[in-house]
Amino acid sequence: TPSGTTPGIQNIFLGRCLAYQEIIKPYPQTTVDCNSLWVKFTTSFEGKEPCGLTSKDYSDFIETSLSSLPEDKAMFWSGTYRVAHDYAESGKRFITLEDTLLGYIMNGLVWCGQTAPPGINYHSCPSFNGCPVAANTAFWGKASSQFASRARGTVTVLLDGSNPAKPAYRTDSYFARFELPSLSPEEVQMVNIYVVHAVNQPYRETCNNGTLPAMQRAVKEHGLKYTCQDNPQAILHLLCVDSPGSLMCRIAQHGNYSH
Ligand code: NGD
């Protein structure tokens, strides 16, 4: 059953907004007033037909809350939510959209409007594919492209090379539709592509196989330089936390290096 707007959304929104700026502060940015941000958010969709929204409805809200990004920190993910965020370390190592104020506030929330009072539908919202122009895309598409347009220096992309149901590079992903096209060839010097392979699963796609060659062509055609690596050590080590005994995870157990 499709759920409606997240109960208590105003408290969650304001609490996340305050906590992000007062406590979490992953990197220096200009302060935003949380109450006026809430007003900009609700104005975007309240009282409106949920399937009629476009990214324009969210422009003011998104542009007020996204500030500039530090060089070399932007990270994109596609099918790799968990390991990308483990690796990013809440903005300390890399900054994903979910480590920005906007993404931090909105991640996981459900919301939609209705023309009848009270203007917000707490009973049911359209499913992901339930609208002609997905309501989801009106917000997350705009948020993703605005985030990507702020990236500078080296950017990092984590793709899933092990999912039998989803190719690593899908032309209908948010990454392919909104993020890659918004990277500035003037501001972005290098795209580091990491292909993640699940532990003890076959390598379905690698830098040289499957959809990766097409992705590298797309990156090049956009005027960007790139590198591609299959399961870099740092990523493998993160994945190995959950299967330390597996053969590909047995490392550095040969001796005692303490003296
Ligand atoms: O069929 C779907 C579906 N496809 C994507 N998503 C879907 N949700 C459904 N219910 N049904 C949503 O997009 C879902 O919230 C996923 O977690 C999210 C990402 O899909 P994925 O893993 O296939 O990767 P994408 O390339 O499409 O989008 C990820 C990139 C990443 O670099 C973020 O900066 O785009 C940005 N992003 C997009 C959409 C949503 C982030 C979010 C988010 N935080 O919710």
What is the predicted ipTM?
0.94
Q: Identify the residue whose C-alpha is closest to ligand 1 atom 42.
A: 140
pLDDT at 11: 98
Which segments of the chain have a pLDDT < 70?
A: 1-2, 132-134, 251-259
Residue 197: count of CB within 10 angstroms of its CB? 20
pLDDT at 131: 82
pLDDT at 74: 98
pLDDT at 2: 60
Give the pLDDT confidence of 165-202 residue by residue, as tens digits.
999 999 999 999 999 999 999 999 999 999 999 998 88
Closest atom of ligand 1 to 108 CA is: 45
pLDDT at 1: 56
pLDDT at 129: 76
Closest atom of ligand 1 to 174 CA is: 27
Give the pLDDT confidence of 117-133 residue by residue, as tens digits.
999 999 999 887 778 65
| Ligand 1 neighbourhood includes 144 CB (under 6 angstroms) | yes
pLDDT at 84: 98
CA–centroid distance, 174 to ligand 1, in Å, is 6
| Ligand 1 neighbourhood includes 202 CB (under 6 angstroms) | no
CA–centroid distance, 6 to ligand 1, in Å, is 18
Closest atom of ligand 1 to 103 CA is: 44
| Ligand 1 neighbourhood includes 140 CB (under 6 angstroms) | yes
Answer yes or no: pTM beyond 0.90. yes
